[in-house]
Structure 1
Amino acid sequence: MPETILVTGGCGYLGSQLVRDLGTGPRASDRVIRILDNMSSGNSAYRALMDMPDTGTYEVVEGDILDPAVVSTALADVNTVVHLAAIANTPMGYQNPTWVEQVNAWGTARLVEECVAEGVSHLIYTSSVAVYGPRETNTYPDETAPCRPVGPYAHSKRSAEHSVQQAHGRNDLHTTTLRLGIVYGPAPTVRFDAVANRFAYLAGVQHPLTVHGTGAQQRAFVHVNDASRAIERVLQRTESPAEPAIFNVVGQNASVNAVAKAVRRARPDIPVRHTEQDVQTHVDLVAQSDKARSVLNWHPEHTLSDGLTALIGTLDAFQPRSML
C-alpha cells in the first residue's frame, strides 16, 4: 500500500518545490502526496498546483491548520507529516505578534496532538536557524548551541519546536526538526520578502539594491532545492532514533554584501545603496550543518550566485518599474 505523506503549506514556497520532488524519482509510485494549504497567498497558491508531475499521486485539502475539522480530515490514513505551514519571518510578524504565535506555535501544537491521536509515524517540522538568536561569538552554532530567540517569529518557531520534540515517542511518533537557513532560489511559488530573493527581484526589475548599514551582517541561506532534498533525506532514514532528531540545514553563511555581489554578477549595472542601520538587521543569524552532512549525507548543490542568477532569469519578462 502506498505511503501517504501530508505536506502542510504545500502550496507555499518550499512546499511547491517539495511536493514536486516527492512525486518524482524511484519512490514516486509508492507515495500519495496530500497537500494541506489555506491558499492565503491567492493566485500563486493555485498556480502551485499546476503542471504537477505525471508520476505523482496528489490529493489536496483546502483549509487551515487552525481548523480542527480540516486537520482531522487531512490526517486520515497519513503515515508521515511534513509541517511547512507557517507565518514567515517578515516585518508583519512585529506588527501582529499574536497572529504569528497563534499560527506558528499554537497551530503546530494542535497539529502535533492530532498526529499523536491519529497514529502518525513520523513528523518532520521545518523550523529556522532564527531560534539560535543573534550570534554572540565568531562561531557558527550547531544543534547543541543554546537557543536565544529574538522577536515574535523566532519565539514562535522555538515554541513550536518544544511541542514537536515533547511529542517524540508518544504513540510511536518519532519527530525530526529541520532548522533552515533563509530559503532562496526559483520554485513554482516564490517569496520575495527575504533578503536574497528580494535583491534578485530588485535586480530583475532594474531597481537599486538597498543594504541596511555596512552590509557586513551575516545570514544563513539554503537553496530551495537543497532544502527539499534535506527533507527527502530525512524521509529515507530507516532508523527511528530514541531521541528527537534536530538538524541545521544551511547551504552557506554569507554577508548581505556578499548577497548583493552575487546578484550583481548577473546584473552588474544594478547599483547598491546603503541606508541607516535597522536595529532588526544588524545582527548575525547563522548556523553550520555538519550534522546533516554526516548523518543524512546531505550536501548543498547550489550557491547563492547560481541560485540567484537563475531566479533573476525568471524575472526577465518583468521589467516595468511600476511592478514595485
Structure 2
Amino acid sequence: MNILVLGGDGFCGWPTALYLSDRGHDVTVLDNLSRRAIDLELEVQSLTPIRPLGERIRAWRSVSGRQIGFVRLDLATEHERLAAVLRELRPDAVVHFAEQRAAPYSMRSPQAKRYTVDNNVRATHNLLSALVTTGIDAAVVHLGTMGVYGYGWSGSAPIPEGYLTVKVPTPDGDVLREILHPANPGSVYHLTKTLDQLMFAFYAKNDLLRITDLHQGIVWGTQTAQTERDERLINRFDYDGDYGTVLNRFLMQAAIGHPLTVHGTGGQTRAFIHIRDTVRCIEIALQNPPSGAKPQVFNQVTETYRVDDLAKLVASLTGVDVAYLPNPRQEDQENDLNVRNDQFIALGLEPTTLSEGLMAECTHIATRYRHRIDPSKIIARSVWREGMATSDDLAFEPVLDTPAEGGPRW
C-alpha cells in the first residue's frame, strides 16, 4: 500500500512509519515537527537522543534499503497544501497521529488548552475535508484514546468497542438504536478526541469516508524491532510530567533511584499497550478497513492495571521507594476499567503483556542515557483547575547516585 503517516516523527508515528516500511509498504511522513518545538517550550528533551528527521530517514535507508518520504506540513493550517499532496501521492491509506497527544500538557495553561483544540480539531477536520475535496478514496486510521470513555463512567461493566445499543421509548414502544458510547472526557486533550469521533461519524455518513478510530490505552516501552537496528533510529522516551507515560516514568525513575511518583492513592485503573503492539494494531486496522457509512472503532489495549499496583511491582523489582504525591488531575481516587478488545484479538493480535524483560529494556535505556535526565522535570505540575494542590506541596530530593554500574536491580 501507499501510506501517508501524519505525525510520523512522534512517539507512536515514527516506529509505525518504520514498521510499515519494513513490511513492504510505500510510506511518506507528513509532520510539522511541533513536538520538537514543544520540547524547546518545556525546556526538556527526550531521554533518548532523537536525531533530526532527515537523518532518521537516511539512517533507515542505509539499514533497510527502503526509502521513506517526508513532507513538512502543518495539517491544522495548510488545507490547500494537504489537498495538493493527496492529489500528487494518491495514498491508499492515511494514518493520523498528527495531534497534540498529552492530557497534562493540554491542561497546562489557557494557551496550551487553546493550542490543543486549534491543532487537534482543525487537523482532523482538514484531513477529512481534503479527502472529500480531492475524491481520494483512502482508508483513514486514527489514533484516538480510551479516555473518550472516561474513567469510572461505566463502573465494572465492560466498555464496548465504540458503540452501545440503547432503547429509545416512543408512543409505539421501545426502539433500538446504536449510538456512540457516551463520552466523558477528563481533559482538553480527551475532549478533542471526543470531537474527532463526531466528525468521523458525520463524514462517514455524509461522504462515505472509510474511517477506523483506535481507542488506545497508555503506551509503554520504547523500542521496536525496527528502531533497535541503529541508534539513529531510536524512538522518543519522554519522562517529564507532561509527556511521560506512567509506566515509562516509573521505569526511568527506578533506573536513577528516584522515588516512584504515584499521584493520589494510585487507585486509578488504566489500560496499557506496548509500543510493539501499537504498530501491529495499526497494520491490522489498515488491512481491515470498514466499508463506509459508519466509523469502525477498535479498543486498542492489551491489559489493565491500577497505578499503585504498577508502582509496587516496579518497586519490588528494583528496590526503590514509592512516593505518594497530591494528584494534579480532577478525577476519582479509584475506578474500575473493564475493556473489550475482541476485534483485534479476532483479527490476529497476539498481545504483548507486561514482563520483566520488556520492563528491563526500558530501564536499561534509562540507565544508558541517565546523564540526559533533568531531575526538575520529573514531577508532574500541570493541574486541572486553579486552586488544586500541586506536587510542589510535597517536596523530596531525588536520589541520583544510583544504580551501580551493574544496572538496575531486577
The answer as to whether partners of 2:121 and 2:196 remain within 8 angstroms in 1 is yes
Counterpart among 80, 90, 108 of residue 103 in structure 2: 90
Distance of 2:133 and 2:144 partners within structure 1 = 23
TM-score relative to the length of structure 2: 0.71
Q: Which moved more, 1:16-25 or 1:45-54?
A: 45-54
Q: Name the CA shift for 1:46/1:73 in 2 (closer, same or farther; >3 Å).
A: farther
Counterpart among 92, 106, 114 of residue 79 in structure 1: 92
Q: Name the CA shift for 1:239/1:92 in 2 (closer, same or farther; >3 Å).
A: closer
Who is 2:323 aligned against? 273
Superposed displacement of residue 241, structure 1: 5.4
The answer as to whether partners of 2:208 and 2:293 remain within 8 angstroms in 1 is no
Alignment of 1:158-237 (within 5 A): 158-168=194-204, 173-187=209-223, 188-192=235-239, 193-237=244-288
Who is 2:159 aligned against? 141
**1:181-224 CA-partner distances (Å, limit 9, x unpaired):** 01110132233322111112222222111111221211111111
Superposed displacement of residue 23, structure 1: 1.3
Q: Are residues 1:36 and 2:10 paired?
A: no
Superposed displacement of residue 40, structure 1: 2.4
Question: 5+ residue gaps in structure 2?
Answer: 37-48, 164-180, 224-234, 376-410
**1:145-186 CA-partner distances (Å, limit 9, x unpaired):** 422222211111110121123212655531100000011101
Which amino acid in 2 is paired with 1:82?
A: V
Who is 1:247 aligned against? 298
SS in 2 for 1:161: helix
The answer as to whether partners of 2:6 and 2:97 remain within 8 angstroms in 1 is yes
Q: Are residues 1:111 and 2:153 paired?
A: no
Superposed displacement of residue 270, structure 1: 1.6
Superposed displacement of residue 100, structure 1: 0.9
Q: When the two structures are aligned, how many residues end up with a matched partner?
A: 317
The answer as to whether partners of 1:129 and 1:286 remain within 8 angstroms in 2 is no
The answer as to whether partners of 1:127 and 1:177 remain within 8 angstroms in 2 is yes
TM-score relative to the length of structure 1: 0.88
Who is 1:130 aligned against? 147
Q: Name the CA shift for 1:284/1:61 in 2 (closer, same or farther; >3 Å).
A: farther
Q: Name the CA shift for 1:123/1:238 in 2 (closer, same or farther; >3 Å).
A: closer
**1:78-97 CA-partner distances (Å, limit 9, x unpaired):** 22100011111232211221
Superposed displacement of residue 70, structure 1: 3.8
Q: Which moved more, 1:222-231 or 1:86-95?
A: 86-95
State the superposition RMSD in angstroms. Answer: 2.4
Who is 1:120 aligned against? 137
Superposed displacement of residue 10, structure 1: 0.5
SS in 2 for 1:82: strand
**1:40-85 CA-partner distances (Å, limit 9, x unpaired):** 2337362554632525331001121122244234423122100011
SS in 2 for 1:108: helix
Superposed displacement of residue 262, structure 1: 3.8
**1:203-248 CA-partner distances (Å, limit 9, x unpaired):** 2222111111221211111111101111111112276355320010
Q: Which moved more, 1:213-222 or 1:50-59?
A: 50-59
SS in 2 for 1:288: coil
Which amino acid in 1 is paired with 2:219?
A: V
The answer as to whether partners of 1:204 and 1:316 remain within 8 angstroms in 2 is yes
Q: Which moved more, 1:83-92 or 1:42-51?
A: 42-51
Distance of 2:256 and 2:59 partners within structure 1 = 26
Counterpart among 302, 318, 321 of residue 369 in structure 2: 318
The answer as to whether partners of 1:200 and 1:308 remain within 8 angstroms in 2 is yes
Distance of 1:156 and 1:72 partners within structure 2 = 23
Which amino acid in 1 is paired with 2:271?
A: A
The answer as to whether partners of 1:93 and 1:153 remain within 8 angstroms in 2 is yes
Which amino acid in 1 is paired with 2:79?
A: P
SS in 2 for 1:316: helix
The answer as to whether partners of 2:2 and 2:26 remain within 8 angstroms in 1 is yes
The answer as to whether partners of 2:251 and 2:314 remain within 8 angstroms in 1 is yes
Distance of 2:329 and 2:285 partners within structure 1 = 36
Q: Which moved more, 1:230-239 or 1:83-92?
A: 230-239
Which amino acid in 1 is paired with 2:195?
A: S
Question: 5+ residue gaps in structure 1?
Answer: none
Distance of 1:7 and 1:321 partners within structure 2 = 29
Q: Which moved more, 1:117-126 or 1:177-186?
A: 117-126
Distance of 2:32 and 2:335 partners within structure 1 = 33
Distance of 2:237 and 2:19 partners within structure 1 = 16
Task: Decide which structure has the larger Cα Rg and report it.
Answer: 2
Distance of 2:102 and 2:208 partners within structure 1 = 32
Q: Which moved more, 1:46-55 or 1:272-281?
A: 46-55
Who is 1:58 aligned against? 68
SS in 2 for 1:211: strand
Q: Name the CA shift for 1:295/1:39 in 2 (closer, same or farther; >3 Å).
A: same
